[in-house]
Amino acid sequence: MKGLLDAFWRAAAYCLHPRVIALSVMPLVLMAGISLGLGYFFWENAVAAVRASFESWQLLATLLGWMESLGLANLKTVLAPMVVVFLSTPVIVVVALLMVAGLMTPSMLNLVAERRFATLEKKRGGSFLGSLFGALWATLLALAALVISIPLWFVPPLVLILPPLIWGWLTYRVMSYDVLADHASTEERRELMRRHRGVLLGMGVLTGYLGAAPSLVWASGAALIVLAPVLVPVAVWIYTLVFAFSALWFAHFALAALQALRAERSAAAMPPFVPVEANTSRDALAIEDLPYRPLPPSDPSPNNPPPFNPTLPP
């Protein structure tokens, strides 16, 4: 618990780092750039295609004609651009978030490693392909679990428990591999995930609940359609910041646990220290065990006394 809380407050403090703030704003910059580029090249054609679709649907054409008779003559002109915006915005948001997510986890890991674990050896027990295939496999399992659990969502308490638990498991699997891929060996990573499985799963569930925070902003945007152009970027920024916090939290906890594991194994590999028992008899100690070695004996005649040896005790 101490290591968990220590990693939590460190991750919260690191969210104020300029690199983290810059990465959290990057999706907004990408969204603006992608929107301007797509709008410049495809806006007119997209709006024209939507209007042609409206005209080809007899029921919709009748409905629009009836609304024009009620004084909403400009509805047909406004409706096509609105549909284009509503259809393209989720795609742009997802693409921007995926691009930032691919850059954010390595950047957060490097930030933590540089500032706190600079001396930690990199054993590179993971790889990019391993991370990619592991993330895809875990995502497929999580999606399958979500689909299977949908009937249980109609039970009021379970709808608040099952989805965060499934997404928490997915976060725990993906983040644990990514933050340990460079520094830990394969055996060390498996050992850490075995030892700290409950803590890592709890971290994933909590970050899953934190990731639901932007949903409140999306709901507000749906209720207050006028403020949607402002609320949608705010929701994207909050989601990105939560993702950065999750990567920092897992990085701090996992690297600290790896450092403790290596220190534990180093201490276990050292030979045990056996103290020498005190003995007042000089004859009981071997000459090799003494911290000094006496000089060889000389002629004991009175005219030839032995040389003075300052290392010998009186």
> What is 264-294 written as a DSSP string?
HHHHHHSPPP-PPPP-S-GGGS-GGGSSS-P
Lowest mean pLDDT, pick from 15-24, 32-41, 291-300: 291-300
What kind and span of H or E run contains 299?
none
pTM: 0.68
Q: Mean pLDDT of all residues in the chain?
A: 75
Is the predicted pLDDT of residue 48 greater than 70, yes or no?
A: yes
- Distance between CA atoms of residues 214 and 220, nearest Å: 10
206-255 residue pLDDT tens: 887 887 666 555 555 445 555 556 666 777 787 788 888 988 999 999 99
* Whole-number CA gyration radius for the chain: 34
Q: Which amino acid is at 122?
A: K
- Distance between CA atoms of residues 61 and 37, nearest Å: 31
What kind and span of H or E run contains 282?
none
Q: What share of the chain is helix, strand, coil (3-state, %, to 5)?
A: 75, 0, 25
**Count of C-beta atoms within a 10 Å radius of residue 21:** 13
pLDDT of amino acid 284: 47
The mean pLDDT value for 293-314 works out to 52
Measured N-to-C along each axis, helices 75-116 and 2-14 cross at an angle, to the nearest 10 degrees, of: 120
Token duo for residue 117: 């674990």
Residue 285 pLDDT grade (very low, low, confident, very high; cuts 50, 70, 90) = very low
**Count of C-beta atoms within a 10 Å radius of residue 97:** 19
